Amino acid sequence: MANNIIRPLGRIETNSALMHEENVNTVAFTTWITSKRVITDDVWEQCLSQLQRDIPHLRLVIVWQEGKRHFKYMDIPRVDIELIEGTAEDDWEKVHEDMMRVSFDTANGPLWRVRVVRMPKRNADSRTEGYAVNENDLFNSVVVFGVHHSIMDGTSSLYMLRRLINILNAATSGVPCEDSEDVMLQPALEDLLPRVDMAFNWRDYIQVAILKLMEWFPRKSLYMKRFPPPTAVGDTYTKTVAVEFSIPETERILAKCKDHGTTVHGIFFAAASMAMASLVNDGKPHSVLNIGSTHAVNMRRFLPPELKTAFGLLVWIPAVTLMTPTTVAYSALWRLAKNATQVVHSALRNGEVTQSYKIEKYMGDDSVKRMLAYPDCTMEFFMSNIGDCDKLCPPGGKDDEVHATRIVTSTASLRYPAPFVHFLHKFRGRFCYNVDYCTNRVSDTNAHKYAELTVELMKMAAGDE
C-alpha cells in the first residue's frame, strides 16, 4: 500500500477530515441541469465515470500511515450514483438534506456520490432567457453531489460542474469531448502560499495567547441566548432554506453596491447581521448588538497567478464582529454595508486571514477538537460568498444541448459553533441564496423567519430610500 500513497493531508484538509469523522462538514452541492433530449441512465454513468477520470481528486481515499492521514488513489475507481424519478419540484430538498448526513468510507472510497433526480418535464423557464436556455420542452434533472470536504471546496465544485457540463454536451451530441485544462493533484494548496507570509513571528504568539484566553471565557451566541434549542428533537440533521433572486433584482443590487461604494459581500453580510439583530431584539427597545460571524475566504488570492484556478481545498474562515443596529432601515442598512465591507477588507489587508491560518496550523488538531467538543454556539452565523460563479462555470452557448441553470451549496453543520450558515452565489445572472441550520439548535419557524428577513433586507437594498 505504501507505494500507492500520494501525500499527507494538509492542515485544512486534516481539519475537514477531523470534522467528517464526527459527522460534520459533508458538502451537498446541487445543480439544476436542463437538456434538449433525455439523458439516459447509461449516459449519466458514462459521463460521471469520465468526470472521475478527468479529476484525480474524485479517485482519492484517505488512509493512515505513520500516524498521519494520507491521500491514496482508489484501488478500483467507481462512481456511487443513483437515479431517482422525481414527482414534484421540491423533491430535490430531501435528497440534498440527506446528502449532508452521509458518512463516507474514507479508506475505500469514493469520497463523493451523486443522486440524479429526474424532474417532471416542463417548458423552459422564461427567466433563463438571455442565458441560452430558451427552447421549449426541456428535460430537467437536479443533480445532487455529496462530497467529503477534504477533496474540494466551493470554488472547485464549480470547476467540477463546468467539466461535467462539457462532458454531457459531448455525450448528448455524439461528439468527442474536448480536452479540458489539466486538473492537477497539487501538494496541499496551503503549502504553495508564499513562505514569507507563513513565517511565524512574535505577533502570532500573542494572538495564540489571546485565543487561549478566549477559550477559557467563550462568548455565547446571542441567538442561542434568546432562542434556546428546540425540545424533543428526534433525528438531528441539517436543513436548508433556498431562495432565488430574479435577474432584475440581482442587477439592481449590484448597481446599488456600486453607487454606495460597497461590495456584494458587504451588503450580504450587513443584511444577515441586521436580520439577526432584529430577530434577537424583537420586542425590545432599539439597541446596537455586536454580531459575531465567520467568513469563508478563498485563499487562492494569495497564490501565484498560475495557481489561481488550482483544484482542491484552500479556504479559511476568519472570525469578525459587526456592531449592528436592531432597527431595520434603508439608510442604516447601507451604512452597515460600508462598515461590513471595511471589516472584511481590513482583515485581508492586515494579514488577519493568513495569520489565522498560521495559528491554526501551529495549534494542530486541538483547535478543531475543542470546537467540536464545546456544546454551545459562540457566534451567530458562518457566511460563504463565492462571487460571480459564471466566471468559474460559464453559461455555455445557444446551441449547447445541456445547461446548468441554478446551484445550491450546503454543509452539514451539526456541531458548528454557529446556528446558521449562509451561502450566496451569483449564477446565470441571478443570486442564488440559501441558509442552512441544524434541527438540534434552530426551529423550522425561526429558520424560515430569519431567511425571509435576510432576503427582504437584500431586496430592500435594491430599492430607493
| pLDDT tens sequence across 364-383 | 787 788 888 888 899 999 99
Res. 165: pLDDT tops 60: yes
Cα separation, 9 vs 224, whole angstroms: 35
Q: Three cell numbers at 80?
A: 456511487
Cα separation, 377 vs 364, whole angstroms: 21
Tens-place pLDDT, residues 245-284: 999 999 999 999 999 999 999 999 999 999 999 999 998 9
Res. 216: pLDDT tops 80: no
- pLDDT over 90, % of the chain: 64
Please report where in the chains the cell 482583515 appears, as a residue: 347
> What average pLDDT score do residues 301-313 get?
89
Say if residues 144 and 28 touch (Cβ distance below 8 Å): yes
| 130 band by pLDDT with thresholds 50, 70 and 90 | very low
| Residue 407 backbone dihedrals phi, psi, to 5 degrees | -140, 150
What's the pLDDT at 360? 76
CA 54 to chain centre: 23
Distances 397 to 130, 166, 204, 255, 403 between C-alpha atoms, Å = 10, 11, 49, 26, 9
What's the pLDDT at 10? 92
* Listed residue (357, 335, 344) closest to 295, CA to CA: 344
Please report where in the chains the cell 496541499 appears, as a residue: 188
Res. 182: pLDDT tops 80: no
Tens-place pLDDT, residues 406-461: 999 999 988 889 999 999 999 999 999 999 999 989 999 999 999 999 999 999 99
| Residue 81 backbone dihedrals phi, psi, to 5 degrees | -130, 145
Say if residues 26 and 147 touch (Cβ distance below 8 Å): yes
Res. 351: pLDDT tops 80: no
57: left (phi over 0), alpha (psi -120 to 50) or beta: alpha
| 128 band by pLDDT with thresholds 50, 70 and 90 | very low
Look up residue 7 and give its amino acid. Answer: R
Which helix (H) or strand (E) element contains residue 26? none
Q: Three cell numbers at 344?
A: 472584511
Residues in the chain: 465
Cα separation, 118 vs 287, whole angstroms: 49
What's the pLDDT at 131? 38
Q: pLDDT: is 317 or 55 the higher one?
A: 55
Res. 124: pLDDT tops 70: no
- Complete domains list, the chain, with CATH: 2-173 (3.30.559.10), 193-401+411-461 (3.30.559.30)
Which helix (H) or strand (E) element contains residue 435? strand 430-438
CA 4 to chain centre: 31
**DSSP annotation string for 225-283:** HHSPPPSS--S--EEEEEEE--HHHHHHHHHHHHHHT--HHHHHHHHHHHHHHHHHHTT
| Residue 97 backbone dihedrals phi, psi, to 5 degrees | -70, -35
How buried is 2 (Cβ within 10 angstroms: 0-12 exposed, 13-18 middle, 19+ buried)?
Answer: exposed
Res. 116: pLDDT tops 70: yes
Other CB atoms within 10 Å distance of the CB of residue 162 = 18
| Residue 38 backbone dihedrals phi, psi, to 5 degrees | -65, 140
In sequence order, what are the residues at sequence separation of 6 or more whose Cβ sits closer than 8 angstroms to the Cβ of residue 11? 188, 190, 357, 360, 361, 364
Cα separation, 110 vs 101, whole angstroms: 16
Cα separation, 317 vs 84, whole angstroms: 35
| Residue 411 backbone dihedrals phi, psi, to 5 degrees | -140, 130
| 357 band by pLDDT with thresholds 50, 70 and 90 | confident
- pLDDT over 70, % of the chain: 91
Res. 133: pLDDT tops 60: no
> What average pLDDT score do residues 129-139 get?
53
Cα separation, 139 vs 248, whole angstroms: 26
| 23 band by pLDDT with thresholds 50, 70 and 90 | confident
What's the pLDDT at 214? 67
Res. 45: pLDDT tops 80: yes
Say if residues 143 and 44 touch (Cβ distance below 8 Å): no
What's the pLDDT at 6? 92
59: left (phi over 0), alpha (psi -120 to 50) or beta: alpha
Taking all residues of the chain, what is their mean pLDDT, rounded to a whole number?
A: 89
What's the pLDDT at 35? 93
Distances 115 to 84, 232, 245, 427, 459 between C-alpha atoms, Å = 7, 31, 26, 21, 33
The reported pTM is 0.91
Cα separation, 452 vs 64, whole angstroms: 45
Which helix (H) or strand (E) element contains residue 340? helix 330-349
Judging by DSSP bridges, how do beta strands 381-388 and 420-427 pair with one another?
parallel
CA 70 to chain centre: 24
> What average pLDDT score do residues 56-74 get?
95
